[in-house]
Structure 1
Amino acid sequence: MRRIPRSDPSPHFLPAETGKPYRFPSAPVKKLGLLLVLLLSWSLLLRAEAASVLLGIDVLERMRFAPLTGKRVGLITNQASVDSAGRPTRLALKHAPGVRLVALFAPEHGISGDIRAGRHVSFHRDPLTGLPVYPLYGDTRRPTAAMLAGLDALVFELQDIGCRSYTYISTMIEAMDAAGEFGIPFFVLDRPNPLGGRRIEGPLVHPPWESFVGRIPVPYVHGMTAGEIARMANQRGWVSHPCTLRVIPMEGWRRDMVWEDTDLPWIRTSPNIPWATSPLYYVVTGFLGDLGADSGVGWTTAPFQYVAGRDLDAFSLAQEINRIGYTGVQALPVGGEHGGAAVRLEISPRTSVNLTALGIYLASRANQASHPSLLRTASANGKEMLCKLYGNSSILTILTRHQSVGAIAAQWHASEQAFAQARRPYLLYGEAQAIPREIHYPRARPVYPRARPVSQEDQ
């Protein structure tokens, strides 16, 4: 715990305002102050306890890993897969009594989360556990028979960001399909959706445009956890070979929670998702890169939080956004890359604006501000990726129109409502999911105490 420096206790300290010697408070005053401090501490403790979320891995630890006892386990994981105390899940399972963790599987960005988007992940040995790491974003994106040989269980625990185009859910779907084909039970250790469980936005994926950035027919922002999507996918035919599925749910998570409500630390999920708010901005500006515009990736400490492009008047665009008057949305003109100008976005996670529609609106403004337009100069691969991200080719027309955010969002309203109804049977969490008081679950001890190197036992 960080120590707070003590002030000078000398009774000869003279306050500048009075010039009179400082006198310590009388005993009754000190008692009253102590009581107030205790009351404040107690109220803060109750508030923290009420807001605490137990992850699926925390619940599994509390169960003494009983569902996996006696099994040879493979784990789909990366650096953000940790329990509430920050202990890597792969260490927790390796040291779990009765559990034999024998193989690790890495998604896009690798097990350390430092490989750039789209780059292949290679087979290697994990320096933390010494176990083999099979890549699920390389020559294959689906576990092979050889990778799964000898496993009694396949466990998925990746921190998703709540947006369809982020590939971790696609990795889960492919792994579920392989588990179903080879008769291996599949476990999901559930984690929060950082965008919350209420936000449903954007179009569905049309079958011709299904890809690894749009593997299943959910809206661009789906408002579900990985465990909930797994349940829905397994029962609605999104998995070719349905598997024997068990989700270890969280406790204490509610649908109205964004990440800052969870009392959990955020760990970078990939190179350009460094902050708990990064998923929010990813939704808004994720279309810009393939269009040929700039979202701040590669030259700022806040990737996806900027809008810049050829011939774009950042000052006018910032004024335009601010005049719309969306609560929780502000735009600031700032310096961009190579001396250019950009718009920096400041967005509250609780804003009611349709983030996906705002993103399409900004992409269309960047496209139309450029001469020639960005779409005219975009590569064939860039246009194809835009269609895959959006879910169909109509985005190529939408980007040429000057539509309001509301008009763009209205196009998806019917499908969003239909999806909200369709997902209901598979939801695991309601609006009030408090942790039962009688449990008194202690947070796991951190594996790496401060100022102590990694021990041989942890390696």
Structure 2
Amino acid sequence: MFNFTFFFLAIWSFCLSVTGLELKLGVDCLFEANNIVKLRNKKLGLITNQTGVNSNLSSTIELFLNHDTQLIALFAPEHGLYGLEQAGVKVEPQSIHGLPVYSLYGATRRATSSMLQGIDLLIFDIQDIGCRSYTYLTTLCYILEEAAKHKISVMVLDRPNPMGGLIVDGPMLENKWRSYIGYINVPYCHGMTIGELACYFNQEYRIGCDLEVIRMKGWQRSMFFKDTKLCWIPTSPNIPEAETPLFYASTGILGELGIANIGIGSTLPFKVVGAPWINARQFAKKLNAQKLPGVIFHPCYYRPLTGLYQSENCEGVLLFILDHKIYKPLSVQYMIIGLLKSLYREQFTNRLKQLGTERKKNFCKANGNEHMLEILSNEEYIAWKLIGYQFEDRQKFLTKRSAYLLY
């Protein structure tokens, strides 16, 4: 006789897993009995910030203190231990709970020998956003390199990629343009978790670090952050919501050019593109005519409180992502750049000529190459050339990354 009770229990269990109700973060799993023993008799250094919380929003720092571990030092990335500082602002060292908090975005961006003195195990617990240019990934890579040099083990407490594990979009990173905003040769949107990236970097770059990833339970590659049912802690001042990473990937590189405002200085960071010289209705109509998958553009009018075009009336577009599963953020970004040039050629070209050397370098670093700037500067119709750039390289990456996927 068919066991209906067992059948429905199985379906219920599957649904819980799919919706994320049973999802456990790496930090949740670490404090289970079979993992917590790994910390016994070890002096610990914790790299974390305000995003370091478990699924019940208990602070990772507090969890270590409450479990009577030998936590002897804390390390803070860009934006500081509490995420207070704006991008690019140096973070000063401090102390809490009687522990030193070393800054990895101040006088140095690498952990020094004196900072690492006495530490047996470095533990990394920071929420990433899924973009190569976001500096928490580089901080992790630096930690792996310094730990390997000092013969210190590293443990990464894994967390979801908020854009899911399927979106792979944008150019690769050429070695010439390796920097703090792009240190590892993966596509701009790589579709990997921070733990998977740690494994990839450690192996592909032959770092030789003694690395362990504490995996999540219940996470699937098709999950966007909203599917996890977890609470989103803003990762930095301009990433306030769980969907913001997708918008960051859609306009952030454009922001490096300083041609159009991308919502920094407004209540819609990365969700709008505007300038005093844009015609909102015309721009929205042209963008929508491209029929890019999963997105619609709406005419937008706003006045930035700070930043580019501060206190000026701007017109532009507000992005609405309708279908995350088919959305391609870099395709959207390069289409926006392409239409800005074709529709507003005089303003676009004049501002491009005014770009300083440092801004041009930052644009190349963010893209991972100088070819995008050359196309943008010298070609007449650029959108589809930018979108199609390095398509074959991305396909090769998909094959290579499969060896490092934990989920």
Query: Residue 339 of structure 1 aligns with which residue?
Result: 313
Residue 397 of structure 2 corresponds to residue 425 of structure 1: no
Distance in 2, Cα, partners of 1:238 & 1:283? 29
Deviation at 1:120, TM superposition (A): 0.6
Question: Which residue type is aligned with residue 83 of structure 2?
Answer: G
Query: Residue 134 of structure 1 aligns with which residue?
Result: 102
Instruction: Report Cα offsets for 1:23-67 as digits up to 9, x if no partner.
Output: xxxxxxxxxxxxxxxxxxxx9998445422110001111236221
Question: Which residue type is aligned with residue 394 of structure 1?
Answer: H
Distance in 1, Cα, partners of 2:206 & 2:89? 26
Distance in 2, Cα, partners of 1:113 & 1:148? 23
Are residues 289 and 411 of structure 1, via their aligned partners in 2, closer, same or farther at CA, if it must alter by over 3 Å? closer
Question: Which residue type is aligned with residue 295 of structure 1?
Answer: I
Residue 55 of structure 2 corresponds to residue 60 of structure 1: no
Distance in 1, Cα, partners of 2:17 & 2:183? 37
Distance in 1, Cα, partners of 2:380 & 2:280? 17
Question: Which residue type is aligned with residue 306 of structure 1?
Answer: V
Deviation at 1:399, TM superposition (A): 2.3
Any residues of structure 2 matched to 1:150-229 within 5 Å, and which?
Answer: 150-229=118-197
Are residues 218 and 76 of structure 1, via their aligned partners in 2, closer, same or farther at CA, if it must alter by over 3 Å? same
Are residues 59 and 403 of structure 1, via their aligned partners in 2, closer, same or farther at CA, if it must alter by over 3 Å? farther
- 8 Å Cα contact 1:173/1:233 also seen in 2: yes
Distance in 2, Cα, partners of 1:186 & 1:349? 37
Residue 331 of structure 1 aligns to a residue in which SS?
Answer: strand
- Aligned partner (choices 306, 329, 343) of residue 355 of structure 1: 329
Distance in 1, Cα, partners of 2:271 & 2:12? 32
Query: Residue 87 of structure 1 aligns with which residue?
Result: 58
Distance in 2, Cα, partners of 1:290 & 1:406? 20
Distance in 2, Cα, partners of 1:367 & 1:375? 10
Distance in 2, Cα, partners of 1:141 & 1:340? 37
Are residues 321 and 238 of structure 1, via their aligned partners in 2, closer, same or farther at CA, if it must alter by over 3 Å? farther
- Aligned partner (choices 243, 248, 252) of residue 277 of structure 1: 243
Deviation at 1:299, TM superposition (A): 1.7
Distance in 1, Cα, partners of 2:254 & 2:276? 12
Residue 117 of structure 2 corresponds to residue 149 of structure 1: yes
Query: Residue 306 of structure 1 aligns with which residue?
Result: 272
Distance in 2, Cα, partners of 1:364 & 1:404? 5
Deviation at 1:298, TM superposition (A): 1.1
- 8 Å Cα contact 2:299/2:318 also seen in 1: yes
- 8 Å Cα contact 2:125/2:157 also seen in 1: yes
Question: Which residue type is aligned with residue 354 of structure 2?
Answer: T
Q: Count residues with an aligned counterpart.
A: 382
Deviation at 1:114, TM superposition (A): 1.3
Residue 316 of structure 2 aligns to a residue in which SS?
Answer: strand
Query: Residue 92 of structure 2 aligns with which residue?
Result: 122
Distance in 2, Cα, partners of 1:328 & 1:177? 39
Any residues of structure 2 matched to 1:36-55 within 5 Å, and which?
Answer: 47-48=15-16, 50-52=18-20, 53-55=23-25
Distance in 2, Cα, partners of 1:382 & 1:62? 47
Residue 18 of structure 2 corresponds to residue 75 of structure 1: no
Gaps of 5+ in 1: 1-42, 430-459
Residue 246 of structure 1 aligns to a residue in which SS?
Answer: strand
- 8 Å Cα contact 1:327/1:351 also seen in 2: no
Instruction: Report Cα offsets for 1:378-418 as digits up to 9, x if no partner.
Output: 22111110000001111112324455755533222101110
Are residues 326 and 361 of structure 1, via their aligned partners in 2, closer, same or farther at CA, if it must alter by over 3 Å? closer
Deviation at 1:327, TM superposition (A): 3.7
Are residues 224 and 45 of structure 1, via their aligned partners in 2, closer, same or farther at CA, if it must alter by over 3 Å? closer
Deviation at 1:123, TM superposition (A): 0.5
Question: Which residue type is aligned with residue 222 of structure 2?
Answer: D
Instruction: Report Cα offsets for 1:236-275 as digits up to 9, x if no partner.
Output: 1263xx2100000001111111111111111100000000
Question: Which residue type is aligned with residue 244 of structure 2?
Answer: S
Query: Residue 445 of structure 1 aligns with which residue?
Result: none
Residue 355 of structure 2 corresponds to residue 378 of structure 1: yes
Query: Residue 444 of structure 1 aligns with which residue?
Result: none
Instruction: Report Cα offsets for 1:258-302 as digits up to 9, x if no partner.
Output: 1111111111000000000000000010022221121001122x2
Instruction: Report Cα offsets for 1:189-243 as digits up to 9, x if no partner.
Output: 000001111111111111111001110111101010111111111111263xx21
TM-score when normalising by structure 1 = 0.79
Distance in 2, Cα, partners of 1:289 & 1:378? 12
Distance in 2, Cα, partners of 1:396 & 1:353? 24
Query: Residue 392 of structure 1 aligns with which residue?
Result: 369
Query: Residue 71 of structure 2 aligns with which residue?
Result: 101
Any residues of structure 2 matched to 1:242-253 within 5 Å, and which?
Answer: 242-253=208-219
Distance in 2, Cα, partners of 1:261 & 1:248? 21
Distance in 2, Cα, partners of 1:152 & 1:87? 25
Are residues 403 and 350 of structure 1, via their aligned partners in 2, closer, same or farther at CA, if it must alter by over 3 Å? farther
Residue 261 of structure 2 corresponds to residue 261 of structure 1: no
Question: Which residue type is aligned with residue 87 of structure 1?
Answer: S
TM-score when normalising by structure 2 = 0.89
Question: Which residue type is aligned with residue 287 of structure 2?
Answer: I
Are residues 397 and 379 of structure 1, via their aligned partners in 2, closer, same or farther at CA, if it must alter by over 3 Å? same
Question: Which residue type is aligned with residue 159 of structure 2?
Answer: R
- Structure ID, larger Rg: 1
Question: Which residue type is aligned with residue 366 of structure 2?
Answer: L
Question: Which residue type is aligned with residue 89 of structure 1?
Answer: T
- 8 Å Cα contact 1:196/1:258 also seen in 2: yes
Are residues 362 and 60 of structure 1, via their aligned partners in 2, closer, same or farther at CA, if it must alter by over 3 Å? same
Are residues 45 and 335 of structure 1, via their aligned partners in 2, closer, same or farther at CA, if it must alter by over 3 Å? farther
Question: Which residue type is aligned with residue 260 of structure 1?
Answer: K
